[in-house]
Chains A and B, each alone.
Chain A
Amino acid sequence: MPFTLNLPEPWPSRGWKAKIRDRERLEPPHVTILQKTRAWRFDLRSGKFLDKEPDPKEVPKEVVDEIRSNLTLLRRQWDGMFPENPISSEEPDDE
């Protein structure tokens, strides 16, 4: 089951979602912001957008703020879902 962050209204009713799905590109760890046919990946390590396109400025400030204020929760979710590529640690050389 994916993890979906509850965004405040009116953003969900305008089609905005923030999700970590069961199968994502694993590196770097991220949450995906979705709005209709557009998507933005937000880096859970750096707290910044990962891609130049679509323009991160198109994401409402309130949505970004909600994600930033829930970074700890999102990082915990990611680590629980993908323990093989955790947010915080580098693998030791010899595992």
Chain B
Amino acid sequence: MSEPLLVVEPRGHATRELVRLKADRLRTESEIRNALQRSERRALWIAPSVAAVRLLLAALVGRPKGDQRLLALEPALEPENCARHNLLHAIFRFVVSADEGIRLLQIEELADVLGSPNREDLFVGGAVVSDDAAAILYRGNLEPLVVPLAWFRARPDGPKPDPTDLAVIDAGQTVRLGEYEAATDAILYEFDDAYRRRAKKRELERDSSFGGALRRLRLEKGLRRTDFHGLTPKEIARIERGEVKKPHPRTVAILAKHLGVPAKQVSTY
């Protein structure tokens, strides 16, 4: 179940773009404390302004925290204010803030994602850590997902992904790197086992065989049938066509090794 949405809006600081969002609006410290009690130790707090972050901190410091998550829409963690930075990270399990190099969705789309019943399957923002060749993407429930930049591979004659220009677009359904676009669905399918299982359930009845899963995974990894040392292309083709219903465990182990996934996961793709 999704965590409750709580928007902190001190008097005089209402955010027009969030008006449509179905959420509890909290204006005072006592309202925030009451909401904390009602939320059963799990909530997603939205602080549209620095004043909202200050009010939230004043109300929550010293309270039992549980699984609290914070989305701060305005820079609230001034780099020079390390103490506040540490305080927020001590109180909240996840902090997604417009500063810290995180680029958020534009606010109307952000409100759509937060109000969506499947917000955990959409991204609200992201950042690139160039030194570590990774992108951190934040889901609608604010949980981070780390994706190696190498995964965003360029197509022949297609645009090269530009890690200096990362943005989440299409209401959280596409990650853009310059002119290059990757589907959120493809990212989650590759890096989140639970999403992959749910996605397969949503599919219409079609090829659910081991061979179908092998073909999908092999193509996702950009491998050819000739790339599997220890197996011939003909053997792989027979498995993919379903002529071998249940490959020998040794064969599955070879496949898994080349595909870079645990053997028991091959059939989940």
CB-based contact A52/B202 at 8 Å: yes
Known contacts A23-B183, A52-B202; A36/B222 CB under 8 A: no
* Closest Cβ–Cβ distance, residue B111 to chain A (whole Å): 10
A-B contacts counted at CB < 8 A amount to 110
Say yes or no: is A76 at the interface (Cβ < 8 Å to chain B). Answer: no
Query: Complex formed: what's the CA distance from A48 to B203 in Å?
Result: 12
Chain A residues touching B, majority SS: loop
Q: Please name 7 pairs of A and B residues whose Cβ atoms are closer than 8 Å in the assembled complex, sorted by A.
A: A22-B159, A32-B185, A34-B171, A49-B204, A83-B156, A93-B238, A94-B225
Task: Say yes or no: is A62 at the interface (Cβ < 8 Å to chain B).
Answer: no
Listed stretches B5-13, B68-76, B213-221; interface member: B213-221
A-chain residues with CB within 8 Å of residue B154 when the two chains form the complex: 22
B116 touches A37 (CB 8 A): yes
Contact with A27, one of B180, B216, B226 (Cβ below 8 angstroms): B216
Instruction: State A82–B234 Cα separation when bound (angstroms).
Output: 23
Q: Which of A50, A53, A82 has the most CB of B within 10 A?
A: A53
B186 at the interface (CB under 8 A from A): yes
Q: Specify which chain B residues have a CB less than 8 angstroms from the CB of A36 in the assembled complex.
A: 109, 112, 171
Residue from A19, A23, A95 with most neighbouring chain B CB atoms (10 Å): A23
Q: Are A93 and B237 in contact (CB under 8 A)?
A: yes
B257 within 8 Å of A (CB atoms): no
Tell me the bound Cα distance from A21 to B177 in angstroms.
Answer: 12
Q: Does A63 contact B (CB under 8 A)?
A: no
Q: Does B122 contact A (CB under 8 A)?
A: yes
B113 within 8 A of A: yes
List the A residue with the shortest CB-CB distance to B179.
A1
Pairwise interchain contact B222-A91, C-beta atoms closer than 8 A:
no
Q: Which residues of A contact B158 (CB under 8 A)?
A: 1, 22, 81
- Residues of chain B with a CB closer than 8 A to A1's CB: 158-159, 179-181
